[in-house]
Amino acid sequence: MPIYHQLGRIPRKRHVAFRQPDGSLCPEELVGNKGFSGPSSLLYHLRLPTAVKSVRPFRDLSWDAESDRTLRHRHFRTTPLETGPSAILDRVPLLFNADVALEMVRPDKEDDFFYRNGQGDEIVFVTEGAGALESSFGAVAFRSGDYLVIPRGVLHRYRLTTRPLRFLVIESRGDVRMPKRYRNDHGQLLEGAPYSERDLRRPEELQAHDEVGDFRVLVKTGNRLTEVVMAHHPFDVVGWDGYYYPWAFSIHDFEPRVGRTHLPPPVHQTFEGDGFVVCSFCPRPYDFDKDAVPAPYSHSNIMSDEVLYYANAEFMSRKGIDYGSITLHPDGLPHGPQPGRTEESIGATWTRELAVMLDTFRPLRASRQALALEDPAYALSWIGAPKA
């Protein structure tokens, strides 16, 4: 996790008796990944976090992949996608492999349960709307343009304040990290990194709920949900400290890099995971050499599937895309600007593009639901002009 953080009341030392005003002990809980070797936090509860009243299978989450594996460039228009109202239960899978999945949901109703993803870290890109991510660690307010990074095991729920909302969810088998090359040997973000610790928004407003009753928690493991009923409100933490917690980072706080001539996509990298990277393409001045070609050159990024989510309707090298479009340029085919876009880019001074890129190192498959959103003409959209 990014930086040490502390909220609420904690004892002077770890693993010592820590009492509530009535003299009872505050149960201590370690939440972290990779057993006791990864990043972790220590939480102090009002009641035992293990107080389970009942468990039952809730829902199978297996996804249907398309059967047609014909290699081609793909374009999916997600704007018309209607989903159910739950930020958790109504996520629609779009593209996925064994390392990472891309899902979309348009939450419109607050859930009456709490959620814990036990099998993956999540990056939730808030493409529209605002609200708060509530968790055992406190609340993180969010708004359009935020990436919410939710490490696995963090119990949470969403509060929705500004509608409509639209989330693009990246679910990762491995842990989500800030790129290692942005950090020094001590973990601090380097001066040359495109964001700093000041840009990371950590939980605030820790509220310890002192309530008993039946509280439903849905836990995702093994591509299925289990319903766990707790005997008390699960957000009963009076204090915690450590490196493991949910946090937010706004795409608008990413400091874009500009060169005299074109810089490659890795300069836009924002996160890394096992088998993928996430990059942010932000408004910025174009390359400043008088002969510079700001649009990218065609490239064959063998060993990588490249996905772009267009958070507005402008992108320097693409035409025919809308807000909410997703393009997939797969391993095995070169891709690049569409006819006319290279010439148009020469002499331009500024781009307003805003896009999230997911590059995966293993091939992605489209879901059954994604097929209904596909623009079949896209694969042949480089035909039609003799010159670039």
Give residues in contact with Fe ion (CB under 5 A): 306
Residue nearest to Fe ion (CB): 306
* Residue placing its CB nearer to Fe ion in the complex, 138 or 337: 337
The H or E element containing residue 143 is: strand 138-143
As a whole number of angstroms, the distance between CA 234 and CA 208 comes to 9
CB of 79 to Fe ion, least distance (A): 22
188 alpha carbon, distance to own chain's centre: 22
As a whole number of angstroms, the distance between CA 304 and CA 261 comes to 24
Taking residue 109's Cβ as centre, other Cβ atoms within 10 Å add up to 12
CB of 265 to Fe ion, least distance (A): 6
**How many separate helices (H) and strands (E) can be counted in the chain?**
2, 24
CB of 56 to Fe ion, least distance (A): 46
* Residue placing its CB nearer to Fe ion in the complex, 90 or 306: 306
CB of 338 to Fe ion, least distance (A): 12
CB of 142 to Fe ion, least distance (A): 29
CB of 273 to Fe ion, least distance (A): 19
Taking residue 81's Cβ as centre, other Cβ atoms within 10 Å add up to 18
In the three-class reduction of DSSP (H, G, I as helix; E, B as strand; rest coil), residue 309 is classed as: strand
Q: Where are any strands of DSSP class E within 236-323?
A: 237-242, 247-250, 269-273, 276-281, 284-285, 305-310
The rounded radius of gyration (Å) of the Cα atoms in the chain is 22
Query: 247 with 199: CB under 8 angstroms?
Result: no
CB of 307 to Fe ion, least distance (A): 10
As a whole number of angstroms, the distance between CA 267 and CA 182 comes to 11
* Residue placing its CB nearer to Fe ion in the complex, 48 or 263: 263
Query: 265 with 359: CB under 8 angstroms?
Result: yes
* Residue placing its CB nearer to Fe ion in the complex, 99 or 306: 306
208 alpha carbon, distance to own chain's centre: 27
* Residue placing its CB nearer to Fe ion in the complex, 28 or 353: 353
* Residue placing its CB nearer to Fe ion in the complex, 38 or 266: 266
Cα–Cα nearest to 17, from 7, 27, 31, 29: 27
CB of 359 to Fe ion, least distance (A): 8
* Residue placing its CB nearer to Fe ion in the complex, 305 or 306: 306
Q: Could you please report the per-residue DSSP string of 325-342?
A: EEEEE-TTS-B-PPTTHH
CA angle, 244 then 100 then 57, to 5°: 75
Residue type, 284: R
* Residue placing its CB nearer to Fe ion in the complex, 124 or 278: 278
Taking residue 48's Cβ as centre, other Cβ atoms within 10 Å add up to 14
Strands 224-232, 284-285: pairing kind? unpaired
CB of 337 to Fe ion, least distance (A): 10
As a whole number of angstroms, the distance between CA 119 and CA 116 comes to 9
As a whole number of angstroms, the distance between CA 145 and CA 257 comes to 19
* Residue placing its CB nearer to Fe ion in the complex, 44 or 310: 310
CB of 268 to Fe ion, least distance (A): 11
* Residue placing its CB nearer to Fe ion in the complex, 113 or 361: 361
